[in-house]
Amino acid sequence: MQTPYRFVFVDLRSDQVVDVLPVQGVTLDDFIGKTGRLTGNVPIPNREVADRARKALQPGRTGVWVERGREVWWGGILWTLRLASDARGFLTAQIQCGGWESYLYRRLLLDTQVAQGVDQFDIVRGLVDYAQSTPGGDIGITYDGDPSGVTRDREFSRYDLPTIGELIDQLAGVERGFEWRIASYRDSNGRRVKRLVLGHPIIRAGTAEIVLDHPGPVLTYVWPHDASTLANGWQSRGASTNTNQAADSVPLMSERLVADDDVAAGWPRLDGSSDYTTVEQQSTLDAHARADWNAARRPVQIPEVEVLLGDNISPALLGATVRLRIRDLWHPDVLDARYRVVGLSINPPERGRPETAKLYLEVAA
The tens digit of pLDDT for each residue in 81-129 reads 999 999 998 999 999 999 999 999 999 999 999 999 999 999 999 999 9
Average pLDDT, the chain: 93
State the pLDDT at residue 298. Answer: 83
| Least confident range of 99-108, 200-209, 271-280, 328-337 | 200-209
Q: Is the peptide bond before 215 cis (omega within 30 degrees of 0)?
A: yes
Report whether pLDDT(248) > 80.
no
**Domain boundaries along the sequence of the chain:** 5-99, 104-199, 210-225+301-363, 233-297
State the pLDDT at residue 299. Answer: 74
State the pLDDT at residue 119. Answer: 98
Which architecture, in CATH terms, is 210-225+301-363? Beta Barrel (2.40)
Return the half-sphere exposure (C-beta side, CA atoms, 13 A cut-off) of residue 47.
0
CATH topology for 104-199 is Phage tail protein beta-alpha-beta fold (3.55.50)
State the pLDDT at residue 1. Answer: 46
Maximum separation of any 2 CA atoms in the chain, in Å: 74
pTM as predicted? 0.90
State the pLDDT at residue 2. Answer: 56
C-alpha span between 140 and 145 (Å, rounded): 16
C-alpha span between 341 and 32 (Å, rounded): 9
State the pLDDT at residue 343. Answer: 96
The CATH classification number of 5-99 equals 2.30.300.10
pLDDT band at 186 (very low <50, low <70, confident <90, very high): very high
C-alpha span between 17 and 10 (Å, rounded): 4
State the pLDDT at residue 225. Answer: 85
Cα distances (angstroms) measured from residue 169 to each of 160, 163, 180, 198, 304: 15, 10, 9, 12, 24
C-alpha span between 126 and 154 (Å, rounded): 12
The three-point CA angle 297-272-181 to 5° equals 65
The angle, 0 to 180 degrees and rounded to 10, between the axes of the packed helices 120-133 and 164-172 is 180
* For the chain, percent of residues with pLDDT exceeding 70: 97
The three-point CA angle 105-168-184 to 5° equals 70
Query: One fold for both 5-99 and 104-199?
Result: no
**Tens digit of each residue's pLDDT (9 = 90 or more) over 139-174:** 999 999 999 999 999 999 999 999 999 999 999 999
